[in-house]
Structure 1
Amino acid sequence: MNTRKMPDKHELVLTRLVLDVLKPHKPGMVEFAQALTGLRGVTKVEVSIIEVDADTETVKLTVEGNNINFEQIANTVKQLGAAVHSVDQVTYSHPTKQQT
């Protein structure tokens, strides 16, 4: 019998998120990354182009930080005219003193 207790959701923080995103050509990758980097808890954003079509780009969006708010990321992506197609990777960690 496994008696190990699952950590309370408040004991873990989201520290890395990898998303498959479909975005228009504008805003460009630099502006797109800057908008996301400005969000609370976000310390690093990487945007890599996977595919380019006539009107859109499929990008891999990697967000790292301390206690990332997924809903805030998803809402900002939407406000930038893009859509999250899938969540490809999620990393939760125990918070450090800096993350609390």
Structure 2
Amino acid sequence: MNEDESCTSPVRVLVLDILKPHKPNIVEFSKSLCNIEHIDSADITVYAVDEKTESLKMTIEGDDIDFDKLKFVIEEQGGAVHSIDKVISGKRPSYHSHTTKVKSEQVSI
């Protein structure tokens, strides 16, 4: 690929670290993100809360995520993208899950 060509593989998963005010709550926040074209789901976890803000770890999944549109909607609601922590892109779905599922068993001692 030369300098004039751009990568056209669609972004399918983004993991972001977000700082946002308490309002809107994460339910309304996630609904607004899922209204963006090509976004199928938003998995949001609040990992820190202070007097005025919440820190979120957010996994966005879709078939061709437009990061600029996503960032615009986040900022429109008072949020800020602190970091992009993971990206999965490509022309076909990833067979490597972005989360690990562990089966737990109760063990008697």
Q: Report if TM-score (shorter chain) is over 0.5.
A: yes
1:82 aligns with 2:79: yes
Q: SS in structure 2 opposite 1:61?
A: strand
Which structure: larger Rg?
2
* Structure 1 residue 88: Cα displacement: 0.4
Runs of 4+ in structure 1 off by over 3 angstroms are: none
Q: Which residue of 2 aligns with 1:59?
A: 56
Q: Say which structure is richer in strand.
A: 1
Report which of the two has the higher share of helix. 1
**One-letter amino acid of the structure 2 residue matched with residue 74 of structure 1:** K
Same amino acid, percent of matched pairs: 34
TM-score by length of 2: 0.78
Corresponding residue for residue 21 of structure 1:
18
What one-letter code is carried by the residue in structure 2 that aligns with 1:44? S
Gaps of 5+ in 1: none
Total equivalences in the alignment:
91
Instruction: Indicate the RMSD between aligned Cα atoms, in angstroms.
Output: 1.8
TM-score, length-scaled by structure 1: 0.85
In structure 2, list runs of 5 or more residues that go unmatched: 94-109
How far apart are 1:42 and its partner, in Å?
0.2
